[in-house]
């Protein structure tokens, strides 16, 4: 019998990448050093990312090379070349990158009844060095990224390489990308948040989505994720299952 696919987001769900604390600061440093530029470089990078997100250009919103290249052109220095993939390799070392739970790999290996795939909006060249450093690359049968498929979450076409009838569910920490995508597909949406209120954690995994404290958390997160867009919170934003660890997910599935 064919195993059902269980797909996972990466950043904020399984691992910490080096962008926020290491890659982006070095990009800013390189630009300021080369150009003696006093502008808020990081702010400009994030503004462009958010602009593309607000225009539903999610695929382009995670193309950091293109964003930085466009910024340099606007600043009048298109000759400066910054190899972001090289910076990711440079900073993909412990403790700069790490698993978000100590036993994630061991937990994932217990899911023998499922085929496992990564479904991330991060480009492969940015994600694979991190995955290799922390051992995640050996756990998954497939790594699905937007530049390979031409689509980004929440567009469920990012999962076109997997047969829909063989999909069980998707696990992620973002409502706008992960939960909405899974709900639109009609597969099990599994929301992970390691800071769940106590009232939520005390309930069974399948009942937490009805908890008042969780729904408030869910709404707050949704509006934060969509701060640049006026998108209402609907039933489509509510996950089927709510977990606070990958270990807990495994216990609920095996």
Quickly state the pLDDT bin for 64 (edges 50, 70, 90): very high
- CATH value of 4-17+99-253 in 3.40.50.1000, 3.30.9.10, 3.80.10.10, 1.20.1090.10: 3.40.50.1000
Structure tokens at 45: 């990078």
Structure tokens at 241: 């299952």
Quickly state the pLDDT bin for 218 (edges 50, 70, 90): very high
Strand, helix or coil for residue 191: strand
The mean per-residue pLDDT over the stretch 88-95 comes to: 97
Quickly state the pLDDT bin for 1 (edges 50, 70, 90): low
Give the pairing type, strands 4-8 and 114-119: parallel
Q: From residue 6, how far is each of 9, 16, 48, 175, 231 by CA, in Å?
A: 10, 21, 32, 17, 28
Per-residue exposure over 8-22, b if at least 16 CB sit within 10 Å of its own CB, e if not: bbbbbbbbbbbbeeb
Question: What is the Cα 253 distance to its own chain's centre?
Answer: 22
Strand, helix or coil for residue 130: helix
Structure tokens at 157: 């076409």
The label of the residue with tokens 């023998």 reads 112
The mean per-residue pLDDT over the stretch 59-69 comes to: 94
Q: Which helix (H) or strand (E) holds 46?
A: helix 41-54
Q: What residue segments make up the domains of the chain, in order of their start?
A: 4-17+99-253, 19-91
Q: Are 219 and 233 in contact (CB under 8 A)?
A: yes
For residue 42, is pLDDT > 80?
Answer: yes
Tens of pLDDT, residue by residue over 15-27, are 999 999 999 999 9
The mean per-residue pLDDT over the stretch 106-114 comes to: 95
For residue 37, is pLDDT > 80?
Answer: no
Kindly state the percentage of the chain with pLDDT values over 90.
85
* pTM: predicted TM-score of the whole model, two decimal places: 0.94
Strand order in the sheet with 188-192: 142-144, 114-119, 4-8, 167-172, 188-192, 241-243
Cis-peptide into 95, omega within 30 deg:
yes
- The predicted structure's pLDDT at residue 79: 87
Tens of pLDDT, residue by residue over 139-174, are 999 999 999 999 999 999 999 999 888 999 999 999
Mean pLDDT, rounded, of the chain: 94
For residue 254, is pLDDT > 90?
Answer: no
- Bridge partners, residue 99, by sequence: 15
Structure tokens at 154: 């929440």
Strand, helix or coil for residue 133: helix
The mean per-residue pLDDT over the stretch 51-61 comes to: 89
């Amino acid at each position: 019998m064919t195993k059902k696919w269980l797909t996972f987001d990466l950043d904020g769900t399984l691992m910490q990448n080096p962008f926020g604390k290491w890659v982006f600061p070095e990009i800013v440093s390189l630009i300021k050093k080369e150009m003696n530029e006093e502008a808020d470089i990081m702010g400009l990078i994030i503004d462009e990312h958010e602009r593309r997100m607000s225009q539903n250009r999610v695929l382009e919103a995670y193309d950091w090379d293109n964003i930085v290249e466009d910024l340099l052109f606007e600043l009048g220095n298109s000759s400066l070349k910054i190899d972001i993939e090289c910076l990711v390799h440079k900073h993909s070392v412990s403790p700069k990158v790490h698993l978000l739970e100590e036993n994630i790999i061991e937990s994932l290996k217990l899911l023998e009844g499922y085929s496992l795939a990564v479904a991330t909006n991060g480009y492969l060249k940015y994600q694979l060095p991190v995955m290799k450093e922390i051992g995640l690359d050996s756990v998954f049968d497939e790594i699905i990224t937007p530049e390979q498929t031409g689509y980004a979450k929440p567009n469920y076409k990012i999962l076109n390489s997997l047969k829909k009838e063989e999909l069980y569910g998707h696990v992620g920490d973002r409502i706008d990308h992960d939960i909405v995508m899974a709900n639109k597909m009609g597969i099990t949406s599994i929301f992970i948040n390691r800071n769940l209120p106590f009232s939520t954690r005390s309930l069974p995994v399948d009942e937490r989505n009805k908890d008042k404290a969780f729904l408030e958390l869910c709404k707050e997160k949704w509006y934060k994720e969509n701060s640049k867009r006026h998108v209402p919170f609907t039933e489509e934003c509510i996950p089927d299952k709510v977990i606070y660890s990958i270990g807990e997910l495994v216990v609920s599935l095996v």
